[in-house]
Structure formats: structure tokens, C-alpha cells
Chain A
């Protein structure tokens, strides 16, 4: 378990040391972390309001030769800080596998077809209320060799920026009712069930479009703190 030097009451969830996730074995730090308190941190953070992001960057379904294959989905939500304030005008990046569970990436050797009309990558800037929206294709599950018969649950990779440098977050959005979730070492690297649930999107009628696309809602809450006090009594890592 990753320790914070001199602060046995602090815990990380997820913890860098996640033994069931094989790739962490040689990459997770083993020395205690040193606490960098707020007073020693530079304030502020990068701003991407001027970044050249166009509306079409948020629509992953339009390929060079036509429509991408698969179930079209609208994915929308808000980026908020832990006080509930919207993170406005900030960059959201998304990447994912295609409908067959294949990434357009050189190291992905899964025997599933690539889609010439799907790159699986998009981006947008949040609105004044912190809202973002992507139109994309429901990703497929895929095998990943972590353990026998290992399959990743369907997911979208999200990379978001808060107002503060320390609010930087990369996470994955999952889909409700996915039968693979209980078996996935990455999803379950988050030990608190309550916190794991924050990564599962909700099916949403409001953004489901007649004859066109299913809607999923996924709000993302960024925090400037990595380590949080471990509540011994309840066993909940907050």
C-alpha cells in the first residue's frame, strides 16, 4: 500500500499499488510519497480557452468516407469542482475503442476489425456551466491479457483539466449494467464502492434522440487533493 511519509492517516484510492492490475507491478512507486501541502503549491493552472478545438472535434461518428459503424451515443455532462462550481472553458479529451473493441493504435493486436471511419478520439471545451457533449459510438469490450480470460468492460477514456493544476484528472467512463465491471482490476482499483459508482454513466432519456442515438450522462468532479483521510471506523476511504 502506498504510504504518505509521516501521515499514516492518509490513504489513496485508487492506490498506486494495485496488485491485481499487472502493469502496476513494475511502475507503481514503492517509496512513501512526500506530502506537498497547499502552501507549497503553485496556484493556478493551464487554460485552454484559446486552444483550436472545433465543434466537429466533439463528433467522433463522422469519418472521412462516411458514418462510423456501431451504436451511436450522445455522452454529456458537466465538469465540476468538489464545491459544485462549474469548470468553464476547459479542455476535455476523449479516446476509446471502436464498436468491435479495437483501438486505432499500433500496439493493439486484438483480432477485431478497424473502422476506416472511426479514429476513436475527440475533444471539446466546456461551456460556461461546465457542460461538455460528445457524439460517438458505443465502444466494444476487448481482451487484454492481464489474467486468464480478461476482458475490459466497455469504457471511454476522459482527460480533463480543472482550474487548478492539481485538479488534473484522467479517468474512464463505464456503462450501467456492464456484466464485466465486477471482474475488472482497473475499475476495482478504486476500493470504495461509493467512489467506483462515480465512474459509471447513467442512461439518459433527455439526451436520447428519436431514431438517432442513445443518451448517457456522466458528470466529472475534480478535486485538488490526492490523499484523503482514512476513516477507520466506517472503513470508507474518502
Chain B
């Protein structure tokens, strides 16, 4: 189908193509370009970011894709059989001390957007305008935890009592 216009409105914008789930077989289409290292491992400030994706029963999600946006770096990591993903990242300098992350999976008719904040930015996080919009008891889900290995951990809970905060935009 060729692009169609909205019937009304001064700008006659095009009707967006709706989202559909990536389905269970995303691996054959998306695994060719895993991009786990947003910075070179071992470079200045490089830190490992790992996490596990779980569903409403606490079961791991082995068929998810995480895409990270930390301008200008982009990354993609597919979850393994244990539902885990990993990246090598560096904390952004400047005003935007966070990273955006999309979650795609079977069962999600569209991707989910979340945001990763850094645990050593306590003061900046306190005055962050977006965190301020999040109910206080849910903010912790957006702040990465320090991993015993020295890296960072950001688990994604799609549902349940500690459901990760997701965003509309």
C-alpha cells in the first residue's frame, strides 16, 4: 500500500504505519547486527551493563531485543537463554546523564521505552525533570544498580510488583 494522508487537518500528515510484534523469530532478522560495545571495553570510563528481562510470572524472557541509545552511540543486544543481555557503555557527560532503552519481544505489540539512570549521580537524579514525574516508589526501577563485579545492572521487569517504569512519548 502506498502512503495515505490523514483526511483532515491543515498539514495533511501521513498516517503512520502501525507497530507489530517482533514475534518469536526475531533472532534470524536482528542477530546479525548485535552491537554490544557502545565504547571499546577497557577504554576510559567503560563499564559493563548487564540485566535480565523477566515477565509477570518472574520467568526469564529469552527472546527479547534491547536497543540502547546514548547519543551518538547506539547498541543492540539480544537476550540469551537466561533472559540476560549485556553492553559496554560509558556514562554520558553533560546534562543528559542517562541512556534510553527500547525493549522488543514476542508478546509486545510494540516496543517499550525505558530509561537508565546511573547510581552515582544521586544529586543529578534528585533534580531530574523526568524522574520527578515518576511516582517516588517506582523511581528505583530506573536507576541501575552497582554489580558486585564492578559493572552496572539494570533488570527489566515487564510486569509484576516491581514493574519497570515505561514511557509514552
Contact = CB atoms under 8 A, between A and B. Distances in A.
Interface of A: 4-5, 7, 10, 12-16, 18, 21, 23-31, 33-38, 40-46, 51, 77-78, 80-84, 93-95, 103-105, 107-108, 119-121, 123, 157, 159, 165-166, 168-172, 186-187, 189-190, 194-202, 217-227, 238
B132 to A, nearest CB: 10
Q: Is the interface of A mostly helix, strand, loop or mixed?
A: loop
29 contacts: A14-B19, A14-B110, A16-B108, A27-B55, A27-B105, A27-B158, A29-B158, A29-B159, A30-B56, A30-B163, A31-B165, A33-B168, A34-B165, A34-B166, A34-B167, A35-B167, A41-B169, A80-B3, A80-B14, A84-B14, A157-B29, A170-B20, A170-B21, A170-B111, A199-B1, A219-B3, A221-B14, A221-B15, A227-B169
Contacts of A14: 18-20, 109-110
A194 B55 CA distance: 32
Interface in B63-102: 63, 67, 69, 71-72, 74, 96, 100, 102
A36 B1 contact: no
Given A159-B29, A196-B18, A222-B16, 8 more contacts: A26-B158, A29-B164, A29-B166, A31-B163, A107-B24, A198-B16, A198-B17, A200-B1
Given A26-B59, A171-B19, A199-B18, A104 B1 contact: no
Nearest to B106: A23
Contacts of A165: 69, 100
A226 B112 CA distance: 10
A12 B168 contact: yes
Contacts of B17: 169, 171, 198-199, 219-222
Contacts of B164: 29
Interface string B6-23: 100001011111111111
Contacts of B19: 14, 169-171
Contact of B30 (A7, A93, A194): A93
Closest 9 CB pairs of A and B: A95-B29, A46-B74, A23-B107, A27-B107, A223-B16, A36-B167, A33-B168, A26-B56, A14-B109
B130 interface: yes
A2 B106 CA distance: 17
A42 B100 contact: yes
Contacts of A168: 67, 102, 111
Nearest to A51: B33
A105 B15 contact: no
Contact of A24 (B26, B108, B168): B108
Contacts of B165: 31, 34
Contacts of B96: 42
B129 interface: yes
Interface in B17-47: 17-30, 32-33
A29 B24 contact: no
B104 interface: yes
Contacts of A224: 169
B20 A172 contact: yes
Of B13, B14, B30, which is in contact with the most chain A CB atoms at under 10 Å from its CB? B14
B2 interface: yes
A195 B22 contact: no
Given A42-B96, A189-B109, A227-B169, A27 B56 contact: yes
Contact of A33 (B63, B115, B166): B166
